[in-house]
Structure 1
Amino acid sequence: MEEKKTTSRRRTRRPAAKAKGAETAKATTGTKAVKTTKTAAKTTVRRKTTKQAAGSKRKANANQPTVRIIPLGGIGEVGKNMTVIEYENDIIVVDCGMTFPQSDMLGIDYVIPDVSYLAKNKDKIRGFLFTHGHEDHIGATPFILKDFKNVPIYGGRLTLALIEHKMEEHRIKGIKSNVIKPGSKVKLGCFTITFLKVSHSIADAYALAIETPVGTILHTGDFKVDYTPLDGEMMDLAAFANLGRKGVQLLMSESTNSERPGYTMSEQRVAKSFDDLFAQATGRIFVATFASNVSRIQQIIKIAESRGRKVYVAGRSLQRITEIATEIGYLKIRKGTLLDDRQLDFVDPDQVVILTTGSQGEPLSGLVRMSNDEHRTISIRPDDMVILSSSPIPGNEKAVTNMIDRLIQKGAKVINDRISEVHVSGHACQEEQKLMMALTKPKFFMPIHGEFHHLRQHSITAEEQGIPTDHMVIPQIGKVVELTKKGIRLGEDVPSGAVFVDGSGIGDIGNVVLRDRKMLSEDGLFIVTLAVDAVTGALISGPELISRGFVYVRESEELLIKARAIVINTVKELENKRVAGDYTTLKNSIRSNVRNFLYQQTKRNPMILPIVLDVDQEALNHAKL
């Protein structure tokens, strides 16, 4: 109604001709409005169609088979290798390794992966698969597999023998072991795994070709391409080429030596170096290596026999592994070659080789104890030759250097891989990594096993080999990698991290404990003991001050007198200002005031430990009466 009145007023004010023009204009405008409305309607329909298409595409992507790959260790670090591969209700786990503690992890024996995610999904786990028997791949088994006894484990004969030895040491029974051979196929849930022989610094090393609903995932394990291996059994390059012809969806390749150009030297070079050094030695020869490096142990024993020397194996772990490897045929030792404790002292020095652990400067290892004059049967002499047949693991350099210095001070001649070729890596260098990519022709690529600079360089090598950057990911511990037939990407996080093993305690040592240990090791301990009235809070006796690793009491009497006065004043200030039985405020105040004073006087921060005893003075007086 209002609209008609307005139109009437406009017609009254304007001339007739203009009114007619206005009507024409209005009609034209109306036509345009209709056209615009129709266009808008078409646009809306188009937008709806586009959204529906996008929604359908997302739905299709969501419905695509997706394999989840979850590194729980071995990424951004050396050691602690462990990878979870998951599809719907099936999980397989590759390796279960440990790493050595860093220098600031005081008192820690081992560091192992956090397996909270596996514990939560225990019913999905179909098997543990082991690529080989080195500690960074099997070292965590006694601490982790005890909680997964119903899950079968698969690996080479030597690998499983070493794992079973660890289980015996920790009195763990009921592990379901399954020995595999080169070319063996294992069906676990939706996964079919083929074990492919590779060359490494230990026998029974394998890569894993894992058939999944989205294609084949190739996990190389640790490998190198050695054309003259000690055991005469070459890496099965033809099997890798055959995989490439069939199609590899994802290559997960180890990255330890990704920054080294060229090829890794053959183990035969080490044998030649050992033979030359044994020929030169005039006294006893000590060779330190990893206990699990069975191939290196075989080299040493074989050369010792050829040079007419007997071999003494020092250390319980090394002795046990030597026994295991001999029993299953991986070590061949002539009768009469090995010496026992009683025979060692009756053999001439120039006829003895002593095999020991300690190439990494481990505190409790045989060679370290010898260098500290703490070994029960062996001491270092001036005419001894000590061969360190390994390279220091990152973080162990200082410990190794200190041990070498002590050995040299005792007159020993120390040989390491900087002086002679007494160690070669068991890991592929750049040209071998390129060969792996060329043989397998992967659609997607993911570097594993190494610190982030290793992973980054390996991805650069992959890019140079023609793998697009959007076809590769650099993983992270605890970050899910989602693999489909069409793509690869990083997904959500799962619980992960490091668990500290200290003696028989697993996971009960956290950052707070490590911080306390660091504080104690650097600045010592300062204990304040006092007794107060349970009712009034008045000081009854003390304070007694005890210093351990902070200052020598007899030379710091003035400092202690002033510290005692600060404690007395603190108690007086808080007297009658507390809830009976609650000494938290008093302890915190003593800790804070004493810490500030001691730092002001000494520039050191010892751990302050207040001990407050409450005494019911009234009850005590009645008792005396």
Structure 2
Amino acid sequence: MAVVEYDGRILLLDVGLRFPGGDMPGIDLVLPDFEYVRERADAIEAIVITHGHEDHVGALPWLLRDIGVESVPMIISGPLTVEMARSKLKEHKLDDSALEAVDTGEIIEAGPFTIEMIHLTHSIPDARGAAIGTPAGTVVFTGDYKFDQTPVDGDPADMARLAELGAEGVLLLCGDSTNADRPGFSPSESLVGPALLKVFEGCEGRIIVTSFASNVHRVQQVVDAAEATGRKVALVGRSMVKNSKIAKVLNHLSVPEGILIQPREINNFPDDRVVVVSTGSQGEPLSALRRMAHRDHAQIELHSGDTIVFSATPVPGNERAVNETVDRLYQIGCTVITAQDAPIHASGHGYAEELKLMLNLVRPTYFMPVHGDAKRLRLHRELAEQVGIAPASIFEGANGLPLDISESGARFGPQEHSGVLLVDGMELGEPSEAAVRDRRTLADDGVVVIVVSISAQSGELISDPEVVSRGMAAGADTDKLVKCARESSITVCEIAAKAGEHDRDELERRLHDGVAADIHSALRRRPLVLPVVVEA
């Protein structure tokens, strides 16, 4: 999420989220902290969404719930992105949001700002860059992009308009850095179709293709390959079905009459006449493919002879989940084809030469690389220097670090509050290190609950401690742990009673520390220890 601010008025660019890694057990979503925007909600003129991917639009419902729908006069984007956003907001009962689809080249006025959206190419239709006009100059946000000269929909990026903006003068360019570490030019999305067709022609059984649900162009190429090989297509996964319906209505997806079937109809056709397009390319726990791999899908049971085509690459952090899914598929007897085996995936982000092309087209006074980790931001800086942008005019920023631009130049201002919010079910809040740490402990080593009953007068044990453990594999280790925890608890209570320590809170602290230390010493495990002291 980016904020453009001028004379006390603000405009938001993209409101995305990210998914938790393996180090955040129990967390569903990770959102940006909205505090800065919440405190200035009355100053919002508009929200601009560049495209429909979750890391650019996924947090919109949460933001509007936080600051109120009435605080945002308009939310603008392309037609497909607007309809995807509308669907998300409807799920959150935010039907009154001021969503507005705008054409590329149309100039929208919003307080001191003007907004123009520029057609670009990405792995989803309707991807846009945004040129934000201010009295101080024009700021261009690329969003996610690549310069695909042969896109599936035949509509390449509007490089002419980018060059015009460059000639008119651009104050600041904020450019996507995702693939700054990959040399050359990215392959065209249109090259994936022939590769998929070749894979389909070599398969005798069912084919299950998994990709991002928002990659409408990939779904189109799967449909085309299925038609060419005489196969029916079943869309599986709520987001896959929903996005495909929206794309069909807006003519971004063309599906021949009679080719689509319902998942429940799959078994009515021979295996060599069926293609399934499924969510789950990132190994998401509740996705359709993951459930199939764990034999937990209500309508599709995988078997030997099925071919699973991963038409996507793992997002950094998802490799373990994807590998676990692939391993499960092999155990079932499936054949698995990934982008390492055939050219069945093309990145939606431009490589180094495309990033340099963007810089040369726009020719900004100042440049700030965005949308990447520290390594890729640094590499993007180096690319900007290679095309002639002065090092002093390039700013590697950080979340919450504002770039102040005035007539006297550009400089970073004081750090503002930033951070993340965690979504756990439907609850939203700031991350608690203790809570997340406890969840990691539970996931790794389980929990031990110790209940001790002591005399309220003497502090002595009335009966042997009760010990319950959960989360450890059954066997000798569990028995040793229970025995160790019980003996440790008795020792701690006896020492406390002799010392005249009767305070329940203090005894629980001693039990926690003593039992945890003894378990680790004996078994090299660190379970979560929960002592309960009952006075009688």
After TM superposition, give the deviation of residue 289 of structure 1 in Å.
Answer: 0.6
Mapping 1:612-623, distance limit 5 Å: 612-615=533-536
Larger radius of gyration: 1
Match of residue 515 from structure 2: 594
Deviation of 1:542 after TM superposition, in Å, equals 3.7
The normalised TM-score by structure 2 is 0.95
| Distance in 1 of aligned mates of 2:440 and 2:450 | 20
- For structure 1, list consecutive stretches of 5 or more residues without a partner in the other structure: 1-81, 616-625
Q: Is the 8 A contact 1:502 1:509 kept in 2?
A: no
Asked whether 1:464 is paired with 2:386, we answer: yes
Q: Describe the SS at the equivalent of 2:341.
A: coil
Counterparts in 2 of 1:561 and 1:228: CA distance versus 1, 3 Å:
closer
1:530–1:542 contact (8 Å) kept in structure 2: yes
- Residue 213 of structure 1 deviates from its aligned partner by 2.3
Q: CA deviation at 1:276?
A: 1.3
Q: Is the 8 A contact 1:286 1:355 kept in 2?
A: yes
Measured in 2, the distance between the counterparts of 1:261 and 1:88 equals 41
Retained in 1: the 8 A contact 2:472–2:478? no
2:473 and 2:82 mapped to 1: Cα distance?
52
CA offsets 1:341-363 (integer angstroms, 9 cap, x no match): 34211111111110101111111
1:545 maps to 2:467? yes
Q: 559-568 or 180-189: which moved more?
A: 559-568
Is 2:78 the partner of 1:135?
no
Task: Supply the AA of the counterpart residue of 1:532.
Answer: I
Trace 1:280-291 onto structure 2 (pairs within 5 A): 280-291=202-213
Letter in 2 for 1:133: G
Matching of residue 503 in structure 1 with residue 422 in structure 2 = no
CA distance in 1, matches of 2:354, 2:504: 66
Range that drifts further, 408-417 or 285-294: 408-417
Alignment of 1:357-436 (within 5 A): 357-436=279-358
The SS at the match of 2:284 is: coil
The answer to whether the aligner puts 1:183 opposite 2:105 as a matched pair is yes
Residue identity opposite 2:308 in structure 1: V
Aligned residues of 2:282 and 2:315 also touching (Cα < 8 A):
yes
Contact 1:259–1:457 (CA<8 Å) still a contact in 2?
yes
Q: Which moved more, 1:484-493 or 1:494-503?
A: 484-493
Q: CA deviation at 1:484?
A: 2.0
Matched, 1:344 2:266: yes
Partner AA of 2:425 in structure 1? G
Which whole-Å deviations, capped at 9, do the CAs of 1:555-588 have from their partners, x for residues lacking one? 76576455434323433433497798x5210100
Matched, 1:200 2:122: yes
Q: Is the Cα contact below 8 Å between 1:200 and 1:224 reproduced in 2?
A: yes
Q: 2:76 aligns with which of 154, 159, 173?
A: 154
CA contact (8 A) 1:500 1:510 kept: no
- Report the alpha carbon displacement of residue 410 of structure 1 after superposing the two structures with TM: 2.1
The residue identity in structure 1 corresponding to 2:118 is L
The 1:209–1:544 alpha-carbon spacing in structure 2 relative to 1, beyond 3 Å, is same
CA distance in 2, matches of 1:517, 1:558: 23
- CA offset at residue 365 of structure 1? 1.0
Give 3-state SS (helix, strand or coil) of 1:540's partner.
coil
Query: 2:330 corresponds to which letter in structure 1?
Result: I
Distance 1:320 1:549, change over 3 A: same
Structure 2 Cα separation of the partners of residues 343 and 194 of structure 1: 46
**Cα distance change of structure 1 residues 555 and 605 upon mapping to structure 2, 3 Å threshold:** closer
Partner of residue 161 from structure 2, selected from 239, 244, 249? 239
Q: What displacement does 1:254 show?
A: 0.6
Q: How far apart, in 1, do the equivalents of 2:319 and 2:173 lie?
A: 32
Determine if contact 2:501/2:507 at 8 Å carries over to the other structure.
Answer: no
Give yes or no for the alignment of 1:110 onto 2:29.
Answer: yes
In proportion to residue count, which structure has more helix? 1
Aligned pairs for 1:558-577 within 5 A = 560-561=482-483, 563-575=485-497
Q: Helix, strand or coil: the match of 1:443?
A: strand
Change (3 A) 1:255 1:553: closer
Match of 2:180 in 1: 258
Task: Give the superposition deviation at 1:88.
Answer: 2.4
Report the Cα distance in structure 2 between the residues aligned to 1:553 and 1:308, rounded to whole angstroms: 54
Looking at structure 2, the residues matched to 421 and 482 of structure 1 have their Cα atoms a distance apart, in angstroms, of: 44
How far apart in 2 are the matches of 1:95 and 1:558?
53
Between 406-415 and 475-484, the greater mean CA deviation after superposition: 406-415
- Counterpart of 2:288, as a letter, is G
User: Hey, what's the Cα distance between the residues in 1 that align with 2:315 and 2:83?
Assistant: 25
Distance of 2:121 and 2:336 partners within structure 1: 29
Give the conservation status (yes or no) of the 8 Å contact 1:195–1:206.
yes
Please name the residue that 2:252 is paired with.
330
User: Does 2:361 correspond to 1:439?
Assistant: yes
Q: Could you say if the C-alpha distance between residues 562 and 275 of structure 1 is closer, same or farther in structure 2, counting changes exceeding 3 Å?
A: closer
- Is the 2:404–2:413 Cα contact (8 Å) retained in structure 1? yes
Q: Which among 238, 241, 249 is matched to residue 319 of structure 1? A: 241
Q: Which moved more, 1:330-339 or 1:437-446?
A: 330-339
Quick one: which of 397, 403, 416 aligns to 1:494? 416
Q: Spell out, residue by residue over 1:224-267, the C-alpha distance to the aligned partner (whole angstroms, 9 max, x if none).
A: 11111111112111111111111011111111111111111111
Corresponding residue pairs, total:
533
Query: Structure 2 vs 1, CA of residues 598 and 498 (structure 1 numbering), >3 Å: closer, same or farther?
Result: same
Are residues 1:121 and 2:43 paired?
no
User: What amino acid is aligned across from residue 591 of structure 1 in structure 2?
Assistant: H
Task: Say if 1:258 and 1:430, in contact at 8 Å, map to a contact too.
Answer: yes
Q: For the Cα contact (< 8 Å) 1:526–1:550, is it kept in 2? A: no
**TM-fit CA distance, 1:399:** 1.4
Contact 1:116/1:495 (8 A) holds in 2: yes
Give the TM-score taking structure 1 as reference length. 0.82
Distance 1:318 1:578, change over 3 A: farther
Corresponding residue number in structure 1 for 2:4: 85
Return the letter of the residue paired with 1:207: G
Contact 2:237–2:288, Cα closer than 8 Å, also in 1:
yes
Partner of 1:18: none
Give 1:2-21 correspondences, 5 Å limit.
none
Deviation at 1:519, TM superposition (A): 0.9
Residue 543 (structure 1) shift: 1.2
Is 1:276 aligned to residue 198 of structure 2? Answer: yes
Return closer, same or farther for 1:604/1:294 CA change in 2, 3 Å cut-off: same
Structure 1 position 140, deviation (Å): 1.4
Q: Distance in 1 between matches of 2:480 and 2:34?
A: 53
Match of 2:529 in 1: 608
In structure 2, distance between residues paired with 1:558 and 1:479: 52
Q: Which amino acid in 1 is paired with 2:176? A: E
